[in-house]
Amino acid sequence: MNELYRGMVVANIVKAMKSAETAQCYKHNGLKGRAREIFVSNLLEPYLYPTMGVSTGVVIDSFNRQSNQVDVIIYDKQIVPPILLTPSEGIIPFESVLARREVKSK
């Protein structure tokens, strides 16, 4: 990995960690959790292919079964497009999901 790229990765991680530390000041647990989800999404997005996206929401399958709310979903828009309620929240078809992760405070 060249030094410029390595520096960019380290700078993004440091920025995300400082932002996550700021969330500790929030009193509301839901707000604190959502802030951390956004920090993780912002950390991942620069490294994804243009056809990929990061969202929070639910995963739905072809039988209309839905997951519980998932904190971070990485998906491929070209496989089956998501139904985005906002640019970062939506309903993601199971076939498009590449990864999913829960974000915890500890």
76 in catalytic set = no
**Residue 105: C-alpha distances to residues 9, 94, 98, 100 (Å):** 22, 26, 23, 17
Q: Which of 21, 61, 95, 102 is catalytic?
A: 102
Report the DSSP beta bridge partners of residue 58.
91
Q: Which of 3, 27, 104, 106 is catalytic?
A: 104
Q: Which of 37, 71, 89, 95 is catalytic?
A: 71
45 in catalytic set = no
Name every residue whose Cβ is closer than 8 Å to that of residue 41 and which is 6 or more positions away in sequence: 54, 55, 56, 72, 88
71 in catalytic set = yes
Residues with catalytic annotation?
71, 102, 104
